[in-house]
Amino acid sequence: MMKKTVFGMLMLALLSSGAAWAEDASSLEISGDYRFRADYLKGSIHNYWQADLSGATMGSGVTGYNVKNDTLFLNRFGLNLKANPLEDVTVKARLVMYKVWGQETSTAVNGSYFADRAMGTNDGTISHVPSDNSLRVDYAYATISNIFGAPVWYSVGRRPSTGGIPDNLRQNQEKIGTAGIPGIMVNYAFDGMTLGYAPDINALPGAYMKLCYGKGFDSGYQTTSGVTLKDTDFLGLNVAVMDSENLHVELQWQKGWNIFDMPSDGVASFGTSSPTENLGNIQWVGGVVTGKVGGLNLFASAAQSKTDPNSNTLSSNGTPWGLLWTSTMAGGSGKDEKSGSAVYAGGRYDITATKTKIGLEYNQGSKNWIGMIPSDDDIWTSKLGTRGHVYEAYVIQELNRSPISKKGKAWVKLGYQYYKFEYTGSNSWLGESYKISDLTTTNPMKAQMLAAVEDAKDIYFTLDVQF
């Protein structure tokens, strides 16, 4: 209670004094947004063998069934701050509250179906997966530009590593800019730093490149006895070949070392709520191209993932699940490298006269595709991490009202998503991936941690107000 009171007083002081700063020197900008969202969710579960995560038994067979939530309501509120305290120095922050109507936990959206939701909110998904009504830091970072008088910048802090291109189209937002990354590669709230360079090349307008580092997990104090966890670190090289109003071409390579078996701060859905083992390394390569012709916005994106596992496995239960491998004794192919791929394409047509925007999207992931994208704005699971197919269609209608605030606009959105899963383990790097149609209630050699979802649907509606 005391912490909330102190935080409220701090925010009041910040807002009131900030108004004066903005009036005197325009050094502080305040903006924000509110969203109401309603979802109708329905899915089908295939027959499968459920592993006993406690390790007490071999598990049991589960006959397929249907699942639904026909009235999921959500509130989201965001507050954005931008300050320029010194020449070439900028600080940006975003605070977000995102909650389910009628409760102060994430249990209504967790379920036992997908790893990126079943584990609840954690360091990488906080403010992006519904939880409670606390206003939390989504990102907060400082940037120093024009280093040594050159087009070089350094940025450090809680990164804006979510909502990248082309995710901004279906969110009715402008692309983030040089801070953004391809949405198919990363959608995870990282703490880290960036060193960037933006050369002035006439043939490549807006081109830039940046080297990014992020920490996925800090293992804490190390001891001299026994096996200890290592930090999980990420490194990425991003190159925007061209960044103009009508054409954007962006490529990225990234790698994660000492990947954790469980994210920090999650719920104990898998028998543990924090990392217990480092499972190996993963590297990715991919990119995105977006183009605009008149009112038509088009995009195409693709990526490939490759695992480099070690012999460690999730140690909290009887079945040994490693980095995309399961032991041969448990029905897997054993420890080896696995490669996966994903594609994402679509577009949005903007009708200027009526302020209507119509979008169609499709994405597909292979058997062993794994992304770093659990913070995607999807309820069932991050659609870009699906091992199978996802189709989405939506209509955005902006309100025909004159803006009063600088960034003022409002819209309603009606959308439909259809997931068709072909393989198990979407958005999880634990254990072997199996063809869902091959699962039975009598084969413990293909035991599953989570329910084997065969298909899922989401009809959703949002009201967004931006100020």
Domains in the chain, start-ordered, CATH in brackets?
32-466 (2.40.160.10)
Task: Name the band, by pLDDT with cuts 50, 70 and 90, for residue 222.
Answer: confident
User: b/e per residue, 10-29, with b = 16+ CB within 10 A?
Assistant: eeeeeeeebeeeeeeeeebb
Task: Name the band, by pLDDT with cuts 50, 70 and 90, for residue 19.
Answer: very low
Mean pLDDT of 5-28: 43
Residue with tokens 């009063």: 404
Beta strands in 47-135 (DSSP E): 48-50, 60-62, 65-86, 89-100
Rounded to the nearest 5°, which phi and psi values hold at 328?
Answer: -65, -30
Work out the number of other CB atoms within 10 angstroms of the CB of residue 1: 5
Query: Residue 179 to residues 76, 140, 160: CA-CA distances in angstroms?
Result: 23, 12, 7
Q: What is the pLDDT of residue 422?
A: 98
Q: What is the pLDDT of residue 223?
A: 82
Q: Which amino acid is present at 2?
A: M
Query: Residue 203 to residues 241, 242, 393, 405: CA-CA distances in angstroms?
Result: 10, 9, 36, 37
Mean pLDDT of 79-86: 96
Q: What is the pLDDT of residue 113?
A: 96
Task: Name the band, by pLDDT with cuts 50, 70 and 90, for residue 429.
Answer: very high
Query: Residue 116 to residues 199, 245, 263: CA-CA distances in angstroms?
Result: 38, 34, 10
Q: How far is Cα of residue 419 from the mean position of the Cα atoms in its chain? A: 17
Angstrom distance (rounded) from CA 264 to CA 262: 7
Mean pLDDT of 439-460: 96
Mean pLDDT of 259-263: 90
On the question of pLDDT at 11 being above 80, the answer is: no
Q: Which amino acid is present at 418?
A: Y
Looking at 80-89, 243-252, 313-322, 344-353, which range is the least confident one?
A: 313-322
Query: Residue 358 to residues 167, 290, 302, 352, 383: CA-CA distances in angstroms?
Result: 14, 16, 23, 12, 19
pLDDT in tens, 97-141: 999 999 998 889 998 999 999 888 899 999 999 999 999 999 999
Looking at 29-38, 52-61, 72-81, 215-224, which range is the least confident one?
A: 52-61
Q: What is the pLDDT of residue 315?
A: 63
| Of residues 274, 262, 275, the one with CA closest to residue 429 | 262
On the question of pLDDT at 24 being above 50, the answer is: no
Alpha-carbon torsion (120, 137, 259, 387), positive or negative: positive
Mean pLDDT of 145-174: 96
pTM of the prediction? 0.90
Angstrom distance (rounded) from CA 441 to CA 49: 5
Q: Which amino acid is present at 246?
A: N
pLDDT in tens, 383-403: 999 999 999 999 999 999 999
Task: Name the band, by pLDDT with cuts 50, 70 and 90, for residue 271.
Answer: low
Q: In this structure, are residues 21 and 28 in contact, taking their beta carbons and an 8 Å threshold? A: yes
On the question of pLDDT at 321 being above 50, the answer is: yes
Burial of 354 (0-12, 13-18, 19+ CB in 10 A): exposed
Q: What is the pLDDT of residue 52?
A: 83
Task: Name the band, by pLDDT with cuts 50, 70 and 90, for residue 275.
Answer: confident
| Of residues 417, 399, 396, 403, the one with CA closest to residue 462 | 396
On the question of pLDDT at 331 being above 90, the answer is: no
Angstrom distance (rounded) from CA 230 to CA 67: 39
On the question of pLDDT at 3 being above 80, the answer is: no
Residue with tokens 């209670």: 1
